Structure 1
Amino acid sequence: MKSILLHIDTDPCMEARLQVAMDIARAYDGHITCLQAVSYEVFAPGDFYGSAMAAALPKIREAAESFRAKVETDLTNEDVSWEWRYLDGMAEHRLLEQSALHDIIIIGPNDIGDPGSHRPSAMAGELALKAPSPVLVVPGDSDRMDVEAPVFIAWNGSPEASVALRAAVPLLKLAKQTIIASVAEPDEKERFVFPAAEAAKYLSRHGIDVEVVDLPRGDAKVSDVLTKAAQMRDCSMMVMGAYGHSRLAEMLLGGVTRQFLKDPKVPILLAN
């Protein structure tokens, strides 16, 4: 995790993901690329001649520069390597473009301009599906990230879960404990491509000791069962594959990824 791509925005979760990015950078002697993407799209019905947009542009630029100055001032007092990239356009597009030469993308749980909505983040979903790097979604109430704390792997035996597991290996090597947890449902287990024991065997080749657990679901949602188990073990993050079903099926029928992204309680590392 030497190269960290951090989404910069004025949302309430900004400070939390900045702190997490710095903790990861310190642990790996890494470098943070602070990406501030500013969209100048102003939707003004009836603004046929662009007068409303022309009036708004200076204010948008001024607000962006003011926020940049504040964050850069804070960063100059920290012991981490960083740089600033200011790009025009939608954040998810610019993050996706820049992700190819980064080891991890760190974002908040909400879409831009939609804080606290408890709706799944479309940006998080798009990046998890399309970016070549794993995406770490950091809730606003996260304090710091203890890289030595236990890490929780939400395992369903899918190829997507396997991709997320491999992407998390550098983080797992620093953790004092790794838990691979499956929600125990016989009908689900029959569809496992890779049993949890195979995942544990893979990690053992990287020198990572693993505890494998089956969690009874009962009447609760799978996301609630996994989140509670991770919190009980004081895990620093949860690792999971993103959208095991098609994205359309997830949107229409729901799904574990969608449930988690509605209101994440712990940082979630997503990959597909």
Structure 2
Amino acid sequence: MEGEGPPESLIDYAAGLAASQEAHLSVALGVLDIVVRSAFTAGLQQLVESFNREQREKAQSFADQLTSRLNASGVVSDIEVALGPYASVAPRFVQLARLADVAILEPNNQAFSLREGLLEEVLCESGRPVILVPKNWSRRAGARRILVAWDGGAKSARAIGDALSLLEAAQEVEIVSVSGDVNPTKRLDGAEIAPHLARHCRSVTVTPLSSSEGGDIPASLAAHARLTGADLMVMGAYGRAKISELLLGGVTRSMILEPPIPVFMSY
């Protein structure tokens, strides 16, 4: 938790999605303590302890206010405030994500930050999908029109399975395949997965896209998502080696840093 708490867009989206699905909403607030070493002076240590105490009090006050707000809106919820250094808060977030259907998180626009590390741990270690909500997202939570970013890989297939209840409820599902993947094990175009989704969904279409100039697949997906007015994008995370994306960039990294619309992601 930073500043005054999570962005309003994240809270509104999570509460709206829970209400639309008649689901229970579990909220986790993380407060990362500053840890001082014995080499620091006693005066500085007292200052840090005072700061940590103030942050904890703010988090508890925010949790109390959020509980009242959710109760008033009719959303059944519980809130846990996870306190301590990153080494204890991050594993707790992973544990809590394992107890849910999906973890709803804010994206991170600062590469290699603690917030990004937390997001990565939940995504890759919890065994649960995540939804990343853009910071300034103002549209109500929903999945009327869903884009499925399909690359024929195992992670994409897992994402479709994880998101199936949302896909079944959507009015329109559009499968988008972007050319440019050279991996021969993933050369399945959208037309091949379409019959499977058609057995579950109301309306399924397939759109092949060419990557934008320079082979920028994330830019092509983002532009198409905005153009079509999609409510949600479903995709697999780290379709190629994670270390490769960390070093060279890729679709997952781009969506973690700056998703164009809410992104449902499975690892």
TM (normalized to structure 1)? 0.85
Structure 2 residue matching 1:54: 3-state secondary structure: helix
Give structure 1 stretches of 5+ with no counterpart: 1-7, 111-115
After alignment, is 48-57 or 34-43 more displaced?
A: 48-57
Q: How many residues are aligned here?
A: 259
Aligned residue in 1 for 2:8: 15
* Offset of residue 70 of structure 1: 2.7
Aligned positions of 1:110-189 closer than 5 A: 110=108, 117=110, 121-185=116-180, 188=182
Structure 1 CA distance for aligned equivalents of residues 46 and 33 of structure 2: 13
Contact 2:14–2:141 (CA<8 Å) still a contact in 1? no
**Identity rate of aligned residues, in percent?**
25
Aligned residue in 1 for 2:28: 35
Contact 1:109–1:263 (CA<8 Å) still a contact in 2? yes
Give structure 2 stretches of 5+ with no counterpart: none
Q: Deviations over 1:6-28 (max 9, x none)?
A: xx665675211111112211121
Q: Please state if 1:228 is matched with 2:223.
A: yes
Structure 2 CA distance for aligned equivalents of residues 109 and 11 of structure 1: 17
Contact 2:5–2:62 (CA<8 Å) still a contact in 1? no
Q: Deviations over 1:137-178 (max 9, x none)?
A: 101111133424210111111101111111111111121100
For 1:200, give the aligned amino acid.
A
For 2:211, give the aligned amino acid.
R
* Offset of residue 47 of structure 1: 2.1
Structure 1 CA distance for aligned equivalents of residues 196 and 83 of structure 2: 42
Aligned residue in 2 for 1:109: 107
Contact 1:119–1:263 (CA<8 Å) still a contact in 2? no
For 1:109, give the aligned amino acid.
P
Structure 1 CA distance for aligned equivalents of residues 201 and 212 of structure 2: 34
For 1:196, give the aligned amino acid.
G
Q: Please state if 1:96 is matched with 2:94.
A: yes
Q: Please state if 1:248 is matched with 2:249.
A: no
Structure 2 residue matching 1:227: 3-state secondary structure: helix
Aligned positions of 1:44-123 closer than 5 A: 46-47=39-40, 50-89=45-84, 90=86, 91-110=89-108, 117=110, 121-123=116-118
For 2:208, give the aligned amino acid.
D
Q: Deviations over 1:32-90 (max 9, x none)?
A: 01112222233479426543443333212222122223322322321211111122244
Aligned positions of 1:205-220 closer than 5 A: 205-219=199-213
* Cα gap change, 1:144 to 1:188, in 2 (>3 Å): same
Structure 1 residue matching 2:34: 3-state secondary structure: coil
* Cα gap change, 1:14 to 1:214, in 2 (>3 Å): same
Q: Which has the larger helix fraction?
A: 2
Q: Please state if 1:24 is matched with 2:17.
A: yes
Structure 2 residue matching 1:63: 3-state secondary structure: helix
Aligned positions of 1:192-207 closer than 5 A: 192=186, 194-207=188-201
TM (normalized to structure 2)? 0.86
Contact 1:151–1:237 (CA<8 Å) still a contact in 2? yes
4+ runs deviating over 4 angstroms? 8-13
Structure 1 residue matching 2:73: 3-state secondary structure: coil
Contact 1:108–1:137 (CA<8 Å) still a contact in 2? yes
Aligned residue in 2 for 1:113: none
Structure 2 residue matching 1:178: 3-state secondary structure: strand
For 1:216, give the aligned amino acid.
S
Q: Give the root-mean-square deviation of aligned CA atoms.
A: 2.5
Structure 1 residue matching 2:40: 3-state secondary structure: coil
